[in-house]
Amino acid sequence: MQPYNVSNSGAFIEEFIVQPYQPGSLSNLNFSVKDCIDVKDKITGFGNPTWRSTHPKASANAICVELLLSQGAKCVGKTVTDEFTYSLLGENHFYGTPLNPRCPDRVPGGSSSGSASSVACDLVDFALGTDTGGSIRVPASNCGIYGYRSSHGRIPTAGVIPLAPSLDTVGVLAKNMQTLKLAASALMGGINLCNNPSANYKIAVVEEIFAACDPNIQKSIYQHLDKNFKEYTVIRLSDIMSADVTLAWLFDLYVLLHSCELWSVHGAWVEAVKPELGPIADYNFNCIAKLANRGLLADGMKKREWFAKKIQSYLKKDTLLCFPTVPETAPKKGFYNQNPAARTSGTYFQNLIGINALAGLSKSPQITIPITDSSAIPVGISFLAGQNQDEFLIETISSWILD
Amino acid sequence: MQPYNVSNSGAFIEEFIVQPYQPGSLSNLNFSVKDCIDVKDKITGFGNPTWRSTHPKASANAICVELLLSQGAKCVGKTVTDEFTYSLLGENHFYGTPLNPRCPDRVPGGSSSGSASSVACDLVDFALGTDTGGSIRVPASNCGIYGYRSSHGRIPTAGVIPLAPSLDTVGVLAKNMQTLKLAASALMGGINLCNNPSANYKIAVVEEIFAACDPNIQKSIYQHLDKNFKEYTVIRLSDIMSADVTLAWLFDLYVLLHSCELWSVHGAWVEAVKPELGPIADYNFNCIAKLANRGLLADGMKKREWFAKKIQSYLKKDTLLCFPTVPETAPKKGFYNQNPAARTSGTYFQNLIGINALAGLSKSPQITIPITDSSAIPVGISFLAGQNQDEFLIETISSWILD
């Protein structure tokens, strides 16, 4: 592989070294930190220059950073994020597009774009990211690496700038599953993750999600499943819930909750400071500010709790949902920026957000594993476990994979 | 009862009317909002004048406020909170001490002091509060009203200023259980709470907590239990966990996690802005900023997850822990302000924080019910259910109480 460095990857917004507090399970591993997560004495820039210039330096590390330093990992810098962590593309108007080394003409995916790039370019062993609606899983899939979104409430978010708090999570991007497992263990307070989990798990493939994906992706993932698993069942979300639960239903519900929460969290700052915004952030904030009917929110909350309960009672402690992480391979760089109408006229974003809403709406953990489609373009195969079944998810997937 | 109004109660920091969006289950009920929760077009003051003067008006209601307006409730104003929601006393150096109408010479308790006072003074039907380490339960107990702390993750916190995110929750203070039930239902997205829950519940009285409380409180609560319940078991936390789990252990663990998270969330602002602080906030922030060993955090996180799992596996879906909400009746006004050394030399705060840490560390919901000690001073009897068993907790308690 060609050698990358900080400057030609575009992954980092700032380089520095924070030494670990002490040796531990992560000794000799280094990591990067998405620029919405506090590192002491650095400004957390949140992907926007006005935010950076109007906020003080962090007075302490975010809790997740502390947990890694306590286990012997070394922090080597902050990575580029999409503006306000609010996009799945990975093209930041102000700070550029971190390199996707597997397909340099394609976007890395976002919003943990620089974190994914820093891992994929082999500049770090793993990276901290955040995932509200896909911001770890999508760039991991696009860049051909592993990505882990934690259960809501499992990894502390103190010191992480919120986006939509009931959906926000902290997680890990890593080149291999062993490193992901070590980092996740540290982030959950140093829990012990076993190496020989029970083999009594079930895999349920979600038919609607496959059907919404590019045929090349469907084929590759089914080949992977057939090769690696003796059995799996194929289910429909509509069967385990009700007929109206479709990807479009997930998309609508996610966008409603996300938009309302985001405006409650950041609307005051946007209105008071009137920051300089890139075109995507400008468009997004305009839509959200004008969101007419926040009165739909109550119904949305009720749907979300119903959905979460249904999923949890189906998954219990032994079932993994399986589906493609993304409906299409990574878009070409610039395409959606140069064709803004295509963002809403096409199905890419609707399906991408719908698929990635499954974990957030059900508060479940998810891991994406890198494979490739028939043209050798990276895509991810995802496994989602019940809420708080992070140990089960990580241990089971680790047991399959010998890095 | 003597008539109270907004000015002689000291409960409100600002009065206004926000009409409900539409009729609903809360029609004809009005509510107040703790001043750490956003109401559109109002500054959220967070109990500190420098915070108020350096922050813009909220551009949207917090999600919890939206959910109440959507169900027909009318918002009538913002209530006084302890500075930065960070005290259990209810005496704000800048904004005064909201009246505890049941014992005007005693503190109302905090930090949802004005919310509790507005309910106890009959100025509203219910109030929104937040509870990180007792901030709903303690003032509810002191003022002789009902208080509900929700499971972590059940009621959205978007639009609520965070304190220690892994411990922060939104909840309700109310004069009667029926109103609490209606408001809680709305805050969980309008879920249906049944009127005839299963009678197959178990009550487990926590001996260590009783032993740490004033004998008058112990006696009153045991009388209440003996009168109302045919059977309950007496357990020791140390028996269902391990011998080192004591109230002091809970206190130490809570303070560690709370302090680290709080400094990660607000340290940068405090250091950059150097706000005018009352003596309690000044003392607290000094302690936290100097907290030497954030390296203990990883071990604390691990202990917390272990503790939560142990409690959850004991409680399952049918058991309620029962204990006094507070170890002593409300302190006299001014006592701890005039005797700051007594804050650490005495056992009141250590026991109070230890008792109230149980819910936060285990992510569990808790309801405090008002009774009185033998001198007719209000105290609360608390019931705590498993995480996400909010429905079970509320339905079961409602079934006992005919307001």
ipTM at complex level: 0.92
Tell whether the model's pLDDT for residue B391 goes beyond 90: yes
Q: CB of A65 within 8 A of CB of A128?
A: yes
Q: Does B193 touch chain A (CB under 8 A)?
A: no
Same-domain pairing of A275 and A139: no
Work out the average pLDDT over A149-161.
96
Please tell me the distance from the alpha carbon of residue B23 to that of residue B71, in angstroms, as a whole number.
Answer: 6
Work out the average pLDDT over A218-238.
94
Residue A193 counted as domain residue: no
Same-domain pairing of A250 and A121: no
Q: Tens of pLDDT along B207-240?
A: 999 999 999 999 999 999 999 998 999 999 999 9
Closest CA to B318 of B397, B230, B393, B229: B393
Same-domain pairing of A163 and A64: yes
Min distance A385 CA to chain B CA atoms (Å): 18
Residues 153-172 on A with a CB inside 8 Å of B are 153, 156-159, 162, 164-166
Active site residues per annotation of B: 34, 111, 135
Same-domain pairing of A348 and A376: yes
Please tell me the distance from the alpha carbon of residue B360 to that of residue B356, in angstroms, as a whole number.
Answer: 7
Q: Does A189 sit within 8 Å of B57, measured CB to CB?
A: no
Same-domain pairing of A179 and A209: no
Min distance A66 CA to chain B CA atoms (Å): 7
Q: Does A302 touch chain B (CB under 8 A)?
A: yes
Q: Given pLDDT bands bounded at 50, 70 and 90, which one contains residue A1?
A: very low
Q: Does A363 sit within 8 Å of B60, measured CB to CB?
A: no
Same-domain pairing of A175 and A219: no
Same-domain pairing of A332 and A244: yes
Which percentage of chain A shows pLDDT scores above 90? 84
pTM of the model: 0.95
Considering only CB atoms, B261 lies closest to which of A58, A63, A298, namely: A63
Q: What is the pLDDT of residue B3?
A: 66
Same-domain pairing of A303 and A353: yes
Collect all residues with Cβ–Cβ distance below 8 Å to A153 and sequence separation of at least 6: A363, A388, B152, B153, B166, B363
Give the number of domains in chain A.
Answer: 2
How many Cβ atoms from other residues are within 10 Å of residue A306's Cβ? 15
Bond before A238 cis per omega within 30 degrees: no
Q: Tens of pLDDT along A201-219?
A: 999 999 999 999 999 999 9
Q: Tens of pLDDT along B331-386?
A: 999 998 888 778 888 899 999 999 999 999 999 999 999 999 989 999 999 999 99
Residue A384 counted as domain residue: yes
Same-domain pairing of A234 and A110: no
Residue A173 counted as domain residue: yes
Please tell me the distance from the alpha carbon of residue A183 to that of residue B14, in angstroms, as a whole number.
Answer: 47
Which percentage of chain B shows pLDDT scores above 70? 98
How many Cβ atoms from other residues are within 10 Å of residue B283's Cβ? 14
Min distance B400 CA to chain A CA atoms (Å): 26
Tell whether the model's pLDDT for residue B4 goes beyond 80: no
**For strand A202-206 and strand A233-235, is the pairing parallel, antiparallel, or unpaired?**
parallel
Q: Tens of pLDDT along B310-326?
A: 999 999 999 999 999 99
Min distance A169 CA to chain B CA atoms (Å): 12
Q: CB of A97 within 8 A of CB of A54?
A: no
> Helix, strand or coil for residue A252?
helix
Same-domain pairing of A242 and A369: yes
The domain that holds A381 is classified in CATH as: 3.90.1300.10
B293 contact residues in A (CB cutoff 8 A) = none
In the block, tokens 């709470």 appear at B193
Looking at A137, A153, A187, the residue that finishes a domain is A187
Tell whether the model's pLDDT for residue A374 goes beyond 90: no
> Residue A345: is it exposed, middle or buried by C-beta count within 10 angstroms (0-12/13-18/19+)?
exposed
Q: Does B61 touch chain A (CB under 8 A)?
A: yes
Considering only CB atoms, B158 lies closest to which of A55, A264, A298, namely: A264
Q: Does B260 sit within 8 Å of A301, measured CB to CB?
A: no
Residue A1 counted as domain residue: no
Show the domain range for A89.
6-187
